[in-house]
Structure 1
């Protein structure tokens, strides 16, 4: 008797799980996978991978550090988001719709910018490389704005988690392709393979092939946009002028935050501004460091770009689980400690020269720590937002998170030239010490009414 009752119940539950998993087979989910790939592709090509190329081309580390300020474009994308949300593109918006037209224009601009970077030799045309990198960075940030809106409007609330998961999967695959893939292509395109453990002679032709391949890879996003339907158009309230927009988009979200946290808002913003400072400042010099230590493109691709991404994902999973079990603030403190401590491992690695086994060990620890810290920090930022201003406040918090570390990272090359790698890595570890105090103080902060 009991078997007759239990079996249908179990079958019913299985059917429910199968029905739930079918969301990953829906066209909208697959579209977000491919669009996520398009979004993740440009980031490393104007930051991490570019610094590897520039150092191999013989540029000094001080210049490479300053050029990292190109990445500040991502920190200001909230400023032109309302234009992307409202402004039609003549001719194109009427044909494709508001979201698809902005996506297509930004993707084509990224592809053209990457092609420009490919065709310019940084040894003789550095200014042109920088301008094309700026085009890629601004177009990529614009694509992010349009893509967030496209994703939100493409499905109901119940499907947003699946769309976000597909987006993140595509994004991470693109980071592997733009990190490891571009180095692998450049290594294959060299006239003579680099000798393991030796400094490779710069071959601009090899990098030209690699960056042109990355530009061609943007066809994934372009094709997806052209084959996708435009989301259902939202009726937006009419614009009420620049002053009204500034009040609603910038002033009011911050005013709400200050009202809820009062004087403690300064403490919270200080923590947001410096939490990732150790990682960001150190990270700009990571690729020049690999070049100077004699690691080949294949070694860097395999260890730091493929294996490293896998370790970051593992760290993010661990961080998410720990946050549920121990609380966000405890894991936030753990992430701050680990982020600073792993920079000490890079100082040790600098004394080893070309040591592949030591590199694997250091990358394992560093990326695992980065994943844990990132998961806790995202959870912390999400908890700070008011649901009435969630998108705007989160975007503004993300900008605050990037601005000071990115600005300070611009001087990282100058620091390495003055002190050497070991002392520089030690200094970046010390940058994490004030973060520990801020986390401890922020753990006591409670919003008004909590």
Structure 2
């Protein structure tokens, strides 16, 4: 229950600075070009790897009595609440800069919370229980996306956007309660950690690095930042660059179009209640179905074939959005079942692609550096898409929705090609052997 509530706390802020925020800005009359630039707020999630080592190594002075992990989580949650309250007190029509700064605050605190929650989840149980904890976390996260998407839209439809964001700030209290309820996981002592890192650094470099004679900041930098990257490249060789390129490009197509989805639905003439019911509620269940289906496919066929299927489907569903844009180009709102068909296909493909991709990223991480390497992968997978999506409103204003969705579909082609290359490499190369885990040494 603790992990499920922490997953809810992690998922709730995401849409509030992404697609839900874009609907609010569009409703307030903000230009689409400006709305597109707000996608860059999401880059904060993509660069969390830069401060993840700080969260991983240092305890916050004021909240240290809670423990290192719980202290950072609570600090992130309090920052999220403050940012959401500030957004609820602002008007996009007259205080767009305040909205932007508050959104950045929410995104920064949310991404910091993510780093600490992932660490707490991994450290709270043995490997045999990680599957259960992951399932609980994902359920809480998906439920939060439903609340922050459909729930916020319903509140805005029948109340106001200010009330919607104020209610979301109140729901963050569930995460605060989970932090107070949780136990701080046990960790190795600082002395044992330093000894383990000396062993690891010497092993990777192939020679003694004389760590005891180096300044403290060098020891910290080598152990917390450099070693995870060195280990990944040592294990994968020159093929590591291709793997990282694939990670950066796989979600380029769906992230690029995500920021403009709600403005697109509103432009077609659908109400916020229609969007909440179809795009959020119905889409939520289609995503869950796609994730479950992908789980079966991974068991039967391995990771790579579902990964290829997901890449093809994500690119292809953008063509359905282009078709919907054509149907609505004459000023007549397409039938609601047309929206349901497109949303269903999009969320089904997203569930398959996301589940396969998470399984693939998990297979890449060395158990000695799970948190750091996974933070690197997750940051890299969203950064290009977040940057390009910032220009989405400009593309739509310049060319139109149909051309934008065709472009988003084309952006999915490199991912399809790279999956095929990875599949060929997997057939012709023996599986990489992970470096020995020095943390198991006495």
TM bucket, shorter chain: 0.7 to 0.9
1:150 is the counterpart of 2:133:
no
Match of 1:440 among 404, 420, 433: 420
Q: 1:387 to 1:85 in 2, by over 3 A?
A: closer
What residue is the counterpart of 2:40 in the other structure?
69
Distance in 2 (CA, whole Å) between partners of 1:230 and 1:267 is 38
Taking the aligned partners of 2:182 and 2:157, their CA distance within structure 1 comes to 36
For the 8 Å contact 1:329–1:443, the answer to whether it is kept is: yes
- Closer/same/farther in 2, CA of residues 84 and 393 from structure 1, 3 Å limit: closer
- Structure 2: which 5+ runs fail to align? 195-214, 434-442
Instruction: Compute the displacement of 1:42 (Å).
Output: 0.4
User: What residue is the counterpart of 1:404 in the other structure?
Assistant: 384
Q: Distance in 2 between matches of 1:312 and 1:220?
A: 24
The 3 A distance-change label for structure 1 pair 449 and 149 is closer
Aligned to 2:197: none
- Within the candidate set 299, 309, 322, 1:324 is matched to 299
Which runs of 4 or more aligned residues in structure 1 lie more than 6 Å from their structure 2 counterparts after TM superposition? none
Kindly state the Cα deviation for residue 324 of structure 1 after the two structures are TM-superposed: 2.2
Partner residue of 1:44 out of 5, 8, 15: 15
Alignment partners' CA distance in 1, 2:431 and 2:278: 47
Match of 2:351 in 1: 371
Q: Could you give the per-residue CA deviations for residues 143-176 of structure 1, whole angstroms, max 9, x where no partner exists?
A: 1122122223333333332222222111111111
Q: Is the 8 A contact 2:84 2:166 kept in 1?
A: yes
User: Does residue 223 of the first structure (1) align with residue 177 of the second (2)?
Assistant: yes
Alignment-derived partner of residue 90 in structure 1: 61
2:305 aligned with 1:351: no
**CA-to-aligned-CA distance 1:319-364 (integer Å, 9 cap, x gap):** 1211222232222211111111100000001122222110000001
Does the 8 Å contact 2:118/2:371 carry over to 1? no
Alpha-carbon distance between aligned partners in 2 of 1:296 and 1:444, rounded to the nearest angstrom: 47
> What are the within-5 Å matches in structure 2 for residues 323-342 of structure 1?
323-342=298-317
Deviation at 1:66, TM superposition (A): 1.1
Aligned residue number for residue 29 of structure 2: 58
How far, CA to CA, are the matches of 1:335 and 1:421 in structure 2?
Answer: 23
The alignment status of 1:134 with 2:104, answered yes or no, reads yes
Q: Counterpart of 1:315?
A: 290
Matches within 5 A, 1:37-436: 37-94=8-65, 96-189=66-159, 206-237=160-191, 241-353=216-328, 354-355=333-334, 356-436=336-416
RMSD of the alignment, in Å?
1.8
Query: What SS does the aligned partner of 1:444 have?
Result: helix
Question: How many angstroms does 1:289 deviate by?
Answer: 0.6
Shift of 1:409: 1.0
CA separation of 1:233 and 1:350: change in aligned 2, threshold 3 A: same
Contact map agreement 1:100 1:230 (CA 8 A) in 2:
yes
1:52-78 deviation line (CA, Å, top 9, x unaligned):
111111111111111111111111212
Query: Does the CA-based 8 Å contact 1:308-1:364 persist in structure 2?
Result: yes
2:47 is paired with a residue whose SS is helix
Deviates more, 1:61-70 or 1:430-439: 430-439
Q: Offset at 1:377?
A: 1.3
**Cα distance change of structure 1 residues 135 and 85 upon mapping to structure 2, 3 Å threshold:** same
How far apart in 1 are the matches of 2:125 and 2:305?
A: 35
1:224–1:156 Cα change, 3 Å? same
The Cα shift of 1:388 comes to 2.8
The SS at the match of 2:293 is helix
CA contact (8 A) 1:281 1:408 kept: yes
TM-score (norm 2): 0.87
1:182 CA drift (Å) = 0.6
Provide the rounded CA distance (Å) in 1 between the counterparts of 2:224 and 2:431: 22
- CA spacing shift, 1:219–1:361, aligned 2, 3 Å: same
Q: Quick one: distance in 1 between partners of 2:432 and 2:98?
A: 54
| Contact 2:265/2:275 (<8 A) preserved | yes
**Residues 101 and 362 of structure 1: is their aligned pair in 2 closer, same or farther, counting only changes over 3 Å?**
same
Structure 1: which 5+ residue stretches go unaligned?
A: 1-29, 190-205
The verdict on how the C-alpha distance between 1:150 and 1:408 changes in structure 2, with shifts beyond 3 A counting, is same
**Alpha-carbon distance change, 336 to 429 in structure 1, aligned in 2, over 3 angstroms:** same
Does the 8 A contact of 2:251 with 2:381 survive in 1? yes
Relative to 1, partners in 2 of residues 1:382 and 1:233: Cα closer, same or farther, differing over 3 Å? closer
Calculate the TM-score normalised by the size of structure 1.
0.86
